[in-house]
Chain A
Amino acid sequence: MTDAAAPATPAAPATLPARTLQRILAVRIVLVCLAASVGLTAYVGTIYFLDVPELRQRTLALVAETVVDALARGKDPGAWPPFRAHPDAYGARVFDRRSVENRKLVTEINPQVLPPLHAPGSAASEYDITEGLVALPAGSAPGAPDRWIYTDHFDVAGHSYWVQTAMIGDPTWVWWGIMEKEMRDHVMVPLLFLMPALMLAILLTIRRSLEPLTRVSRRAASLTRAIESGTTPAPLPVERLPAEVRDLVVAVNGMSASLEQLFRRHKQFASDVAHELRTPLAVMLLETGRLPPSPERETIAGEVQDLIRIVNQLLRLAQAEDAMLRERAPLDIVPAVRKVCEEMADRAMASRQTIEFDAPEFPVTVFGHPTLIEIAVTNVLDNAIRLSPKGSVIAVSVGSGGEVTVDDSGPGIPDAHKARIFERYWRGDAPRSPRGNAGGSGIGLDLVSRIVRLHDGAARVEDRPGGSGARFVLRFGPPDRPAVARAARLRRLRSPASA
């Protein structure tokens, strides 16, 4: 039954949660940085790989260092696994450092790989002990792999030694170790330090650059809310915005300003028209009163009354739309509803009807706006007075949970129409009025349901219990408030006195 009062606003379009520009930029830039790191590593590796003599020299220098290291620690340098595994590929020899003529061989590993050693005293060959890297074919056969020889001197425990290392090919990929070390020392480690700093700098830059945009978008939400509720929207800030965004914001500001003006003019127009209509209506009302009694006079008088009602409803609508802009606050609805009953009492008296008002003696606080609550109750009470027969009683009561009940003695609402009666411009097929004319503009109950929804409440209509007529229940506030229990207790306490 409360379906009628369910929000009629269209559901928000089901879009995926949009990612922020900040996040998109950050993710993309991090990915680009990672790609750049990989690319840089690959580039450096390729450079090393392509420079064969350099790689060979470094490889042999590493072999020499290994040998010297073993000697310094008094171990057998020949125990190095590549020497053992590939005696035909890696070799080394160590001389005591003296002149070529007086040198003394300290140790020799896999001599077959090394160039032959000249006997002491004989003339030295050009490769014999040339410091640095030399490449020469490994054999006399054409196409034989290069033999690389590297000679350098090292100090071990205060003595100077010459170390000569040689290799034919590199079957155990000793060069890979070189590459690894080079990469680690010259690419990975710098990147490891540089990357986080760079990313942090980038993130901060993005955040800083997008800050005005973020500010604008945060304010944009309030713009929409202002336009929806009809308040004057504050223009979005334009200062410090990049040019392309500023143009957009200026356009949005212009649009919202003209929209707001349009709304205001529209509201003012409705209010003005309704007020302008009141003077001619007053003339019509007074002039028909002066006509001699006739069925025609009754018809015209009835139509004039309907017109007056419609104008009053339009005015209340304009007034309500104006009031909806104002802030809601906690208020006691009992005086507000009583005031409406008092104001409508004279109208009821004109049809010899009486209004009964029943409310708790303690305040019933709701979070709302008094004008809106008064307008909603007035609209329902207006219908009740119009549709109830002469001499009947209209009962208005305020419940402790913030609901207002209006019981009339009119024709009631058929079950089929109960759900739709709060819709705008819906008036039902069955005439409700005794005059055979519904006389409603179809805006009164729609406004009622809008107002209760604004108060997080609901409106419904049911049959008047124990009699003919309709019962309208307007709940101003969410259901199941704890106040109900308290109210019941208070009522029990008071019941003997209030009989």
Chain B
Amino acid sequence: MRILVVEDNERLSSVIAKLLADGGFAVDVAPDGDSALAALRLAGYDLVLLDLTLPGIDGLAVLRRMRSDHLATPVVVVTARSEVVQRVQLLDAGADDYLVKPFSMDELIARVRAVLRRPAHMADDVLSAGNVSLETKSLTLTIGGVGVEASRREIGVLETLLRNLGRLVAKRKLADAVYSFDQEFTPNAVEVAVSRLRKRLQAHDAAVSITAMRGLGYVLTDQ
């Protein structure tokens, strides 16, 4: 996996490059927008880590240029500003995710992995965490290498949770996943599906767990 880090602060770009290299990625660094666009034209990257405040062409312009050139490389924007308006603007401009400075090493790696895990950007369409993996096309679930049967609702919940590993998934998002499989309405369908999935994961010694945050949603964490 090759990542382009676009960051004008040399110290920050070097530490990010080192961390990503430690995480097994090949990393190139571009200090400004022009060199970033040049690098993108020359080599194929699996992900771009794009700082917004750059000398010359700024990050948002780079992102827009990439998208207008039909360059589909996933982009994680790094910003020092956390205003909601800006986040919405970024996602609208075609960013896949964002990181607000300052971020920890775990956050950086998790966000990069989460974006790379998205099927649109992956060859094998497999979502995995711990010893759990889910084939998103055939919807086959394996825990510790063993195939496990699960209901479509449970698979739907697990898929959504896997795509947001380590992050809270709001209940309404899970409800969308559950109801996309059938139209039958039951108010506690999400709770039922999660509770069944939890039992199933436990029964097969899965190395992941689902934490409930009452009134908010669920988080899948790998141990």
Contacts and interface: CB of A to CB of B under 8 A. Distances in A.
Contacts, number: 95
Contacts of A286: 12, 15-16, 19, 102-105, 108
B214 A358 contact: yes
Contact of A356 (B22, B106, B213): B213
Contact of A282 (B12, B84, B215): B12
A278 B80 contact: yes
Contacts of A338: 215-216
B212 A354 contact: yes
A349 B222 CA distance: 12
Nearest to A497: B187
A315 interface: yes
A357 interface: yes
Interface in B93-116: 101-106, 108
Q: Which residue, of A283, A286, A341, A356, has the highest number of chain B Cβ atoms within 10 A?
A: A286
Interface stretch (B62-70, B124-132, B144-152, B163-171): B163-171
B219 A289 contact: no
Given A281-B102, A308-B102, A349-B166, A341 B216 contact: yes
A73 interface: no
Interface in A347-361: 349-350, 354-359
A280 to B, nearest CB: 8
B82 interface: yes
Contact of A349 (B101, B108, B219): B219
Interface string A339-375: 0011001100110001111110000000000010000
B184 interface: no
A167 B68 CA distance: 122
Interface residues of B, number: 34
- Majority-rule SS of B interface residues: mixed
Nearest to A316: B82
Interface residues of A, number: 34
A284 interface: yes
Contact of B101 (A278, A341, A355, A358): A278
Nearest to B84: A371
Contacts of B214: 354, 356-358
A282 B22 CA distance: 18
B211 A354 contact: yes
Interface in B185-205: 187
A354 B212 CA distance: 8
Contact of A275 (B12, B15, B80): B80
A354 B215 CA distance: 11
Given A284-B102, A290-B105, A358 B15 contact: no
A281 B167 CA distance: 23
A285 interface: yes
B215 A357 contact: yes
A279 B101 contact: yes
Nearest to B11: A283
B182 interface: no
Interface in B1-53: 9, 11-12, 15-16, 18-19, 22
A285 B102 contact: yes
Contacts of B15: 283, 286-287, 290
Contacts of A315: 82
A33 B22 CA distance: 97
Contact of A357 (B11, B82, B83, B216): B216
A37 interface: no
A278 B105 contact: no
B119 interface: no
Contacts of A359: 215
29 contacts: A276-B80, A278-B80, A279-B12, A279-B101, A280-B11, A283-B9, A284-B102, A285-B102, A285-B104, A286-B16, A286-B103, A286-B105, A289-B19, A319-B83, A338-B215, A341-B213, A342-B168, A342-B170, A342-B217, A345-B168, A345-B216, A345-B217, A346-B166, A349-B211, A349-B221, A354-B214, A355-B213, A356-B215, A358-B214
Closest 5 CB pairs of A and B: A357-B215, A282-B102, A345-B168, A278-B101, A281-B102
